[in-house]
Structure formats: structure tokens, C-alpha cells
């Protein structure tokens, strides 16, 4: 039993971390804590998703927020115009993001390294520009939910509560997904692609489809997170849905915790958000918050390029087996 | 015939890398491929395993025309190769490297079977003590063995070995030669590119000689060693001094 337990130690650690964050506002009964936890969990979900592409497959996407924004818009549209409930809207947002990722993957996953990264930035800007001019989604002014919609969920207070529970659930799902990918045969193929794509191809990894699936898997949850985030927010507009800054922050979180590990992005996202919260309310740092993120990324790349968990794995080879 | 190469021609811009290369390979043999540097040996490997598409000609593997098929298609069908310049998956362990071969190559194993295959193959190649080390931490000789282990773990029908002996010391060469024999005894057909003459003469059932992209000779090791054209192109020209003395 204990051997089996240790075999999946990293999954238990990861789920434990997510649960601690998720239970903290419930135990303390504090709405403010709930808002903080919601932000942290959405960061965890986004970072863990991007990690499937960036950490496991080795493809750096600088525009990953496009899936959050696009899923958010589609989800918002189904609620606002089609009158769907939040569950269906979330599903729609996830599927829309997955479909977008699939089509984009076919087009740009043949690019490698910096060219791929540049293409992802371009795509985020292109989708933002498109939505800016797309009348059904409200163009540049976006859309705003009718407040009455929350009635179906027992009022705005209850809707907020529900959205938080959904976020906890999504984060648990993404953690399990991330762990499954990392420890599966499919994931081994992705790691091989990350290390040497040509060698992987010669060894029989069907690289085009493996990369495309990794891209799709990394997009689904961000699409769902977008849908519930903007349902909670009550309003959506292009500037909120596609901030390049969030894409970069996702990368900082992954690098901080350890790219290519299950636990790393979770710790990285939680750590980064905690730091950001502190900096935003601190009178000394509140205007320097992004500058500090930039310096942080620089320091990580220079001194611990593998992040916290990667550093632990390197420093203590004994734990490498189960700390992933 | 496990492999038939028919009239393969490959050009890179103005460079004629391969010209009308044709040969057949029966099952169970070790075929040596020799020639001076730049003769097109590795290019021929790249054409056979689908990395390059030939400009002309066909490659028939296990009775199927596989010309222009992707490397992963050929790998699944039963082809494996090593690289002249080793390509370890650095951040993965040695065992994981070998498991990639077992999972995605012809063996198409699931993870637990692949782990078993990997341990067995690592044993065969003397890498078992390094199984949990990162591949990037190996030395050159060990990396060559790792290339070999990955290829064998895919349980191929045909194995292409690209200079697995280069850069090894004599005792490492001796043990690698033994390993190649052991692999052949498992029923795997082998084509090997090699510059270590004693080894290739020893191992090969048949030898092909490439020079400037053309096949200039084909035969048993004895025939090749005594072939005038081969001696001139590759082994050196023993009559050169004689001819110079005669003032030709």
C-alpha cells in the first residue's frame, strides 16, 4: 500500500495543494478569501494546462490566453444570447477552445522554437482584432450579462459560491489530466518530442498528431475557465479577454514552479499569485508589480532554469522518481 | 528480400548525393556500407528511413513501397536506426529513452511491457547500472550504446547502424562487435555504416561500397578487400608509387 501510495506521491501532493487552496475560504467562511482563492485556482488551472504544451512537449506558447478569451466569449454568448446554463456554457467554451486549438495546431505546430512562439502571439492579436470587429460578440464594447440571469442560481451570492466550487472542480480535473498525461505512454511521446523532435519521429512517435493533441488538451480547460470567469465577471470585452500579459504571467508561473512537472506549475501559480496580491496592495510596490515579475523571470532563467521542483529533482536524485 | 532499393537518386541543390543506387538485402544478413566521407552513406540511410524523400527511385521494405513515407511509419513497420551523431533524450532517464523505442517502434508496447523490454535490452548492452541516470550524463561510448539500446528495444526487423564504433576505444569496439552479433542472432537484419575496417570485414556477410553517391562495388568482404576500384577510392592506392616511378 505505501509503495503504491508513493508511486503516485506527486499526484497526492498536487491534489493536496489544490484542496488546501480550495478549502481555505470554505473553512474560514470569508468571501474575500474566496475571491483570492478563485484567482489563485484559475491561475493554477491555466498554468497547469499550458504546462502540457510548454513543459511536456517543449512548445512555448506566448498567446495561450487566446483560449481563455475565446472560450470565455463563446461561453458568455451562449449564456447571454442563447440562454444556456453555466454548465452547458462551460462545455461550449471548452469545446470552442479545443476546436480553435486543433485548427491552429494543424497550421502552426509545424513551426519550431521561436517561430512557433511568435506565431502564437500573432494569433492572440488576430483573434482579439477579429472579435473587436465581430458584431454578434458586441465588437469593441463587448457584452454585459443581464443581472436577472443569476436568479436561476438563487441570486448573485449563490452564483458566486457555485462558480467557486466549479473552479475547484476544474482545477482538480486539470491536475489529474496533467498527471495522467505526464505518466502515460502518450506523455512519454511528448517528452521525447520536447527533447529531440527528429529523433522522436525516427523512433516512431507520430509527432504531428501527438503535438496536436497536446495543444488541444492544453486549450480545453483554459476555455472552460474563461467561460466561468466571465460568467462571474458579468461583462466581457476584448481587452479583458485577451491580455498578452496574462499569457506571459502563465509562463512565469510555470518557470517558477518547474516546467514539465505536475506539481511545479501548481506551486508556481500559487506562489506567483500570492506575491502579486502582496505587491498590489503594498504602497511601495503597487506600481512596480509587473517590473518585479519581469525581474523574477530573469532571475529564474539565470539561476534556477528548471524552477523549484526541477531544482529539487536535480539536487536530490532520490526524489526524482516520485516528485514529478 | 526484406529491403529493396531501386535506382535511388538524391540531389541537394547542385550536389548529387546519391546516383541510381540499387541493391537488395535478404533477411538475416549483416550488410556493410563503406565509402569515403561524403560518399552518401548517411544520406542513403536517411532515404531508407524516410527522413529524406528520394528524387528518383523506390524503396521497398517488407514488400511495400515505402518511398516518401514518414520516419514514424517506417519505425512502426519494423525499421530502427542509430544516429552517427548521438541524439539522446537528455532530460529523460536511460530507461525512459529505451522505453520510447519500445513504446513507439515496431514493438508498440504499453508502458509496463516497455519497462520490461527496456531492462532486458539495457542488460544486453551493459547499461543496466545506468538505467536511472539521465541520458545527458552518459559518456560518448555509453551514448552510442544507448542509441543501440533504443533501436533494439523497438524490436525491429531491420536495423540501420550509423557508425556505432566511431570514437570508441579498442576494448569498447570489441564489446560492441559482440553486441552486433548478438542482435543479428536474434534474427534482426542489419545494415551498418562503418569506418573501422577490421570490424566491418569481420561482421559483414556482404559489403557495398559507395563513392560520390554511386555504388562502385558489391561483394563478400574478401572480394571487396581485393577490388581495385575500392582500393583506389577508399582503402588507398597501393600501386600509386609504382605508377609514379614508371613516370605515368
The 10s digit of each residue's pLDDT in B31-82 is 999 988 889 999 999 999 999 999 999 999 999 999 999 999 999 999 999 9
Residue A279 CB-half CA count within 13 A: 15
pLDDT at B242: 58
Cell digits of residue A253: 508561473
pTM of the full structure: 0.92
What's the pLDDT tens digit per position in B164-204? 998 888 888 998 999 999 999 999 999 999 988 888 988 99
Q: Is A184 on the interface with B (CB under 8 A)?
A: yes
pLDDT at B197: 84
Residues of chain B neighbouring A321 (CB-CB closer than 8 A): 132
Instruction: Tell whether the model's pLDDT for residue B236 goes beyond 80.
Output: no
* Distance of alpha carbon A80 from alpha carbon A78, whole angstroms: 6
What's the pLDDT tens digit per position in A25-50? 999 988 899 999 999 999 999 999 99
Mean pLDDT, chain A, integer: 92
What is the pLDDT confidence band of residue B6, given thresholds at 50, 70 and 90?
very high
Domain that holds residue A283: 2-321
Instruction: Tell whether the model's pLDDT for residue B237 goes beyond 70.
Output: no
Instruction: Tell whether the model's pLDDT for residue A2 goes beyond 70.
Output: no
What's the pLDDT tens digit per position in B95-154? 999 999 999 999 999 999 999 999 999 999 999 999 999 999 999 889 999 999 999 999
- Residue-range domain boundaries for chain B: 1-77+158-167+184-248, 79-156
Superfamily (CATH H level) for B1-77+158-167+184-248 = P-loop containing nucleotide triphosphate hydrolases (3.40.50.300)
Work out the minimum CA distance from B151 to partner chain A, whole angstroms. 8
Residues of chain A neighbouring B42 (CB-CB closer than 8 A): none
pLDDT at B240: 55
CB contact under 8 A, B83 and A199: yes
CB contact under 8 A, B100 and A188: yes
What's the pLDDT tens digit per position in A265-305? 999 999 999 888 888 888 888 788 778 878 887 888 898 88
- Taking Cα atoms as reference points, which of B106, B99, B100 lies closest to residue B187? B106
**B-side interface with A, Cβ within 8 Å?**
49, 51, 70-72, 75-76, 80-81, 83, 87-92, 96, 99-101, 103-106, 110-111, 114, 132, 150, 154
Best mutation target, B51, B72, B92, to test chain A (most A CBs within 10 A): B72
Q: Per the structure, how many domains does chain A have?
A: 1
Instruction: Tell whether the model's pLDDT for residue B226 goes beyond 90.
Output: no
CB contact under 8 A, A201 and B71: yes
What's the pLDDT tens digit per position in A173-225? 999 999 999 999 999 999 999 999 999 999 999 999 999 999 999 999 999 99
Residues of chain A neighbouring B70 (CB-CB closer than 8 A): 201
CB contact under 8 A, B87 and A196: yes
Residues of chain A neighbouring B111 (CB-CB closer than 8 A): 184-185, 188
Provide ipTM, 2 decimals.
0.90
How many Å is the Cα radius of gyration of chain B? 19
Residues of chain A neighbouring B83 (CB-CB closer than 8 A): 199, 202
pLDDT at B187: 92
CB contact under 8 A, A205 and B72: yes
Amino acid at each position: 500500500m505505501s509503495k503504491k501510495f508513493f508511486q503516485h506521491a506527486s499526484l497526492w501532493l498536487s491534489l493536496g495543494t489544490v484542496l488546501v487552496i480550495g478549502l481555505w475560504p470554505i473553512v474560514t467562511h470569508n468571501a474575500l478569501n474566496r475571491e483570492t482563492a478563485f484567482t489563485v485556482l484559475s491561475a493554477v488551472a491555466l498554468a497547469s494546462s499550458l504546462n502540457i504544451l510548454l513543459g511536456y512537449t517543449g512548445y512555448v506558447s506566448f498567446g495561450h490566453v487566446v483560449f481563455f478569451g475565446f472560450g470565455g466569449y463563446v461561453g458568455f454568448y451562449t449564456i447571454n444570447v442563447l440562454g444556456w446554463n453555466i454548465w452547458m456554457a462551460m462545455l461550449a467554451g471548452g469545446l470552442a477552445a479545443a476546436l480553435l486549438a486543433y485548427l491552429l495546431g494543424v497550421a502552426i505546430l509545424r513551426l519550431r522554437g521561436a517561430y512557433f512562439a511568435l506565431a502564437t502571439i500573432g494569433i492572440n492579436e488576430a483573434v482579439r482584432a477579429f472579435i473587436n470587429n465581430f458584431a454578434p460578440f458586441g465588437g469593441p464594447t463587448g457584452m454585459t450579462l443581464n443581472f436577472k440571469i443569476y436568479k436561476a442560481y438563487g441570486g448573485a451570492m449563490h452564483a458566486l459560491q457555485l462558480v467557486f466550487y466549479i473552479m475547484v472542480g476544474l482545477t482538480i480535473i486539470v491536475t489529474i489530466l496533467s498527471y495522467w498525461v505526464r505518466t502515460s505512454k502518450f506523455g512519454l511521446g511528448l517528452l521525447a518530442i520536447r527533447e529531440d523532435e527528429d529523433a522522436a519521429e525516427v523512433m516512431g512517435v507520430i509527432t504531428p498528431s501527438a503535438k496536436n493533441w497536446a495543444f488541444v488538451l492544453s486549450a480545453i480547460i483554459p476555455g472552460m475557465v474563461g467561460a466561468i470567469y466571465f460568467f462571474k465577471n458579468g461583462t466581457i470585452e476584448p481587452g479583458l479577454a485577451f491580455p498578452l500579459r496574462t499569457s506571459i504571467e502563465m509562463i512565469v508561473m510555470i518557470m517558477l514552479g518547474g516546467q514539465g512537472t505536475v506539481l511545479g506549475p501548481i506551486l508556481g501559480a500559487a506562489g506567483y499569485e500570492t506575491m502579486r496580491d502582496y505587491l498590489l496592495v503594498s504602497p511601495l510596490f503597487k506600481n512596480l508589480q509587473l517590473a518585479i515579475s519581469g525581474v523574477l523571470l530573469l532571475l529564474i532563467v539565470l539561476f534556477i532554469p528548471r524552477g523549484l521542483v526541477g531544482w529539487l529533482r536535480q539536487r536530490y536524485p532520490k526524489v526524482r522518481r516520485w516528485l514529478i | 528480400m526484406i529491403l529493396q532499393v531501386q535506382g535511388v537518386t538524391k540531389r541537394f541543390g547542385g550536389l548529387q548525393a546519391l546516383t541510381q543506387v540499387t541493391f537488395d538485402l535478404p533477411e538475416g544478413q549483416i550488410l556493410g556500407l563503406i565509402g569515403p566521407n561524403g560518399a552518401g552513406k548517411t544520406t542513403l540511410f536517411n532515404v531508407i528511413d524516410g527522413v529524406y524523400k528520394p528524387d528518383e527511385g523506390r524503396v521497398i521494405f517488407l514488400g511495400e513501397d515505402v518511398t516518401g513515407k514518414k520516419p514514424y511509419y517506417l519505425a512502426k513497420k519494423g525499421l530502427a536506426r542509430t544516429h552517427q551523431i548521438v541524439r539522446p533524450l537528455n532530460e529523460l532517464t536511460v530507461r525512459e529513452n529505451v522505453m520510447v523505442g519500445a513504446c513507439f517502434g515496431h514493438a508498440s508496447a504499453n508502458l509496463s511491457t516497455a519497462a520490461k523490454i527496456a531492462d532486458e535490452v539495457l542488460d544486453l548492452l551493459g547499461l543496466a547500472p545506468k538505467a536511472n541516470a539521465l541520458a545527458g550524463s552518459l559518456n560518448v561510448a555509453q551514448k552510442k550504446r544507448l542509441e543501440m539500446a533504443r533501436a533494439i528495444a523497438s524490436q525491429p526487423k531491420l536495423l540501420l547502424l550509423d557508425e556505432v564504433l566511431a570514437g570508441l576505444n579498442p576494448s569498447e569496439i570489441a564489446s560492441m562487435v559482440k553486441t552486433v552479433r548478438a542482435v543479428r542472432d536474434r534474427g534482426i537484419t542489419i545494415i551498418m555504416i562503418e569506418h573501422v575496417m577490421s570490424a566491418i570485414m569481420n561482421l559483414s556477410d556482404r559489403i557495398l561500397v559507395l563513392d560520390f553517391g554511386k555504388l562502385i562495388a558489391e561483394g563478400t568482404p574478401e572480394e571487396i578487400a581485393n577490388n581495385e576500384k575500392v582500393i583506389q577510392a577508399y582503402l588507398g592506392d597501393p600501386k600509386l608509387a609504382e605508377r609514379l616511378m614508371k613516370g605515368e
